[in-house]
Amino acid sequence: MIVFNVNDMTCNHCSGAITRAVLSVDPAATVRIDLSSHRVEVQSAAVDAAGLAAVIADAGYTPTLASASA
């Protein structure tokens, strides 16, 4: 599980954009978003934390890696 804090994610549109960005690089990924805590949790077998951070940043947000575990 890879966890990011995305403090500039503030609404459902933001969460949808981030989810679409992650699924564009790994359609099999599991994405869980908690808007109130600005957390994005991703389970991906195909993309590492750096790759996920890059696609989230390309979507217009500022991810900060909180944790990454197998």
Whether residue 52 has pLDDT greater than 80 = yes
Angstrom distance (rounded) from CA 50 to CA 29: 15
Question: Given the structure tokens 């949808």, which residue do they identify?
Answer: 16
Q: What is the pLDDT of residues 13-39, one digit of tens each?
A: 999 999 999 999 999 999 999 999 999
Is the pLDDT score of 11 beyond 80? Answer: yes
Per-residue pLDDT band at 41 (split at 50, 70, 90): very high
Domains held by the chain: number: 1
Whether the pLDDT of residue 12 is over 70: the answer is: yes
Domain that residue 28 falls in: 2-68
pLDDT at 70: 60
Residue 1 has pLDDT above 80, yes or no: yes
CATH number, domain of 40, equals 3.30.70.100
**Residue 67 phi, psi dihedral angles, 5° rounding:** -165, 155
Residue by residue, DSSP assigns 2-70 as EEEE-TT--SHHHHHHHHHHHHHH-TT-EEEEETTTTEEEEE-SS--HHHHHHHHHHTT---EEEEE--
